[in-house]
Structure 1
């Protein structure tokens, strides 16, 4: 091989080395680009974090509000359950006063009872309407006892109401206690 050919081979080898070095450098630059996300990608990532954090906070607020409402409802329910025996006592007193025909006393007791009932109704208490002769429903009534029905048509129906039932909002807090015909 001549000197000139050797020089060409050497130049080609150097060019190949240069090309290999350039390729390595290009690869390193690509790796740097992959390692360091662009500003747009960083912005998008931060935006996603913000959206998730905002959604979590919004869910927390809703959950907290629901828990507070539930606690308020349970406090009202407890108070209502405490006052129900007082309402029952008023009903019994009115029945007795009607028997004895005490007009002035009856009017006074009825006014006090009505005021208490109106105050409780403003807080969401409702009386469950049950009448003698209604069909007994185990979902809505609590059967205290069964007695022989006075007639065939009263079988499975309510004969007497022992205690009035009440609901607070949509939840029954005391089922009406009834006597059922058999």
Structure 2
């Protein structure tokens, strides 16, 4: 049989007092740190605080989405307006020359009516209806002062009284507009001082 090995000599074996070696096991917590029963008010307060934070986060998210929706709506409205404006210009570029030619044709029919005024009036009415269908309307003949925005003075007539000076004496050729834009000004003669 073999004998167990002898441990090496240490000073505490020779009668010296033994020092406690540090323990590797955890120390039990002090009594004040030990978990006790949870305070129900603290639990409810924590839950309410958590709900408040979540509600605030949802409110912020809702406001951001609302602002994004408003911005998207504004952008969509701007695009829609730009599209309408572009469409009007495109239609004006293609239709306007044709409509202007129809205006000239209307003028010729009115001038050449001669003996058969019924036929000329019928054709003129049809042409005016066709022009109005595409938004071209005749500038109305209204008595009053000369309007350079819608009229062109092509002649003068001596006024019979001073208060008539600057007013329209007669319409020489009808004017036309498309919407608010004057396509062809109304040609008029204007009263002037004698």
Normalising by structure 2, what TM-score? 0.58
- Secondary structure in 2 aligned to 1:38? helix
Partner Cα distance (1:60, 1:122) in 2: 32
Tell me the distance in 2 between the aligned counterparts of 1:151 and 1:85.
38
* Structure 1 residue 61: Cα displacement: 1.8
- In the alignment, the residues of structure 2 paired with residue 155 and residue 172 of structure 1 have an alpha-carbon distance, to the nearest angstrom, of 25
Query: Equivalent residue for 1:175?
Result: 185
SS of structure 2 residue aligned to 1:135: coil
Deviation by residue 1:80-124 (Cα, 9 ceiling, x = unmatched): 3542243233223332232xx2x39x61x5444433321221232
| 2:108 counterpart residue number | 92
On the 8 A contact 2:102/2:131 being kept in 1, the answer is: no
Structure with greater proportional helix content: 1
Kindly indicate whether residue 140 of structure 2 is the aligned counterpart of residue 124 of structure 1.
Answer: no
1:151 aligns with 2:181: no
Q: Find the partner of 2:72 among 57, 73, 79.
A: 57
TM-score, normalised relative to structure 1: 0.61
How far, CA to CA, are the matches of 1:150 and 1:117 in structure 2? 33
Aligned length: 139
Could you list the runs of 5+ residues in structure 1 that have no partner in the other structure?
1-36
DSSP-derived class of the 1:72 partner? helix
Structure 2 alignment gaps of length 5 or more: 1-51
